[in-house]
Amino acid sequence: MLESAGPIIVGVVNVTPDSFSDGGRFADALGAIEHGVRLVEQGAQIVDVGGESTRPGAAAVGPAEELGRVLPVVAGLVSRGVIVSIDTRHAEVARAALGSGAAIVNDVSGLRDPVMRDVLAEHDVPVVIMHTPVDNPATMQRHAQYDDVVQSVVEFLRERVAFAAAGGVTRVIVDPGIGFGKTTDHNLEVLRRLEEVVSLGLPVLVGASRKRFVGEITGVDAPGARLVGTLVAHLAALDHGASMLRVYDVAEHVEAVRMWQALSA
């Protein structure tokens, strides 16, 4: 799955009422499953299913509610042959999703749940370890303070990767966490110096899709209208060594990546 010839496109399906860009659109399981299947038809290799919004200021969701949202969608997509990644900070949700056939865990907290590492080791699945300064979307923007944001991100990821390895978890993808406890300038700095994250020697995933800093730079207010800025940010990330992109607009990314690949050949 990670031996793809080109960048891997991860399509996003949020089964939440409040995600910043697609909240409420796929709150029913069948709609979410159909959408995930459509993303694969458009060229996504993986579909990332999430049941909790982690946008800045979002309210936390209990694991029981998160499970109720994501499990039917994970099971439905797996039964249709889709490779599913479960976007969760909670070991309990990860365990159940893996039990229902999810193949990857995407943990935006960077393995802060004390049980997450054991769950990953038990199931021997790849994990996305993402940087965020604190495991609390409600307050993370207050922690957007760094001497050198890229150095902080790299140090955090290096420590988390070592922590994972010490528990037998070695199939790791790292993610600098665009928009997580970072200002617009921080996000730009991370993208410009992504090579420093790449130098950890692991695949790097970037998720800039429709995020606030894209709107701030382009002057586009509505998240759903931020495709052009998103594409430019993602192609820049590929230029700097990213190998996976987490995206809403799969068809457009597939087209853009084809052009990028032709130019970089």
> Which residues carry out catalysis?
211, 246
Among positions 39, 47, 130, 242, the unique one binding ligand HH2 when judged by CB under 6 A: 130
Neighbouring-strand partners of residue 235:
none
Query: Quick one: 12 or 172, whose CB is closer to ligand HH2?
Result: 12
Binders of ligand HH2 in range 149-188 (CB under 6 A) = 175, 177-178
Unique residue bearing structure tokens 């994970």: 74
Query: Quick one: 59 or 262, whose CB is closer to ligand HH2?
Result: 59
205 is a site residue for ligand HH2 (CB under 6 A): yes
Contact letters for ligand HH2, residues 217-256 (x by CB under 6 A): -----------------------------x----------
Binders of ligand HH2 in range 28-67 (CB under 6 A) = 50, 53-55
Report the nearest approach of ligand HH2 to the CB of residue 191 (Å): 12
> What's the CA gap between 172 and 203, in Å, rounded?
8
Token readout for 100 is 């229902």
Question: What is Dmax (Cα atoms) for the chain?
Answer: 47
| 3-state helix/strand/coil string of 61-112 | CCHHHHHHHHHHHHHHHHHCCCCEEEECCCHHHHHHHHHCCCCEEEECCCCC
In contact, 166 and 204? CB cutoff 8 Å: no
Query: Quick one: 53 or 79, whose CB is closer to ligand HH2?
Result: 53
Among positions 8, 11, 13, 19, the unique one binding ligand HH2 when judged by CB under 6 A: 19
Which residues, other chains included, contact 160 with Cβ-Cβ below 8 Å and sequence gap of 6+? 110, 111, 129
Positions in the binding site for ligand HH2 (CB under 6 A): 12, 14, 16, 19-21, 50, 53-55, 87, 106, 108, 128, 130, 175, 177-178, 205, 207, 209, 246
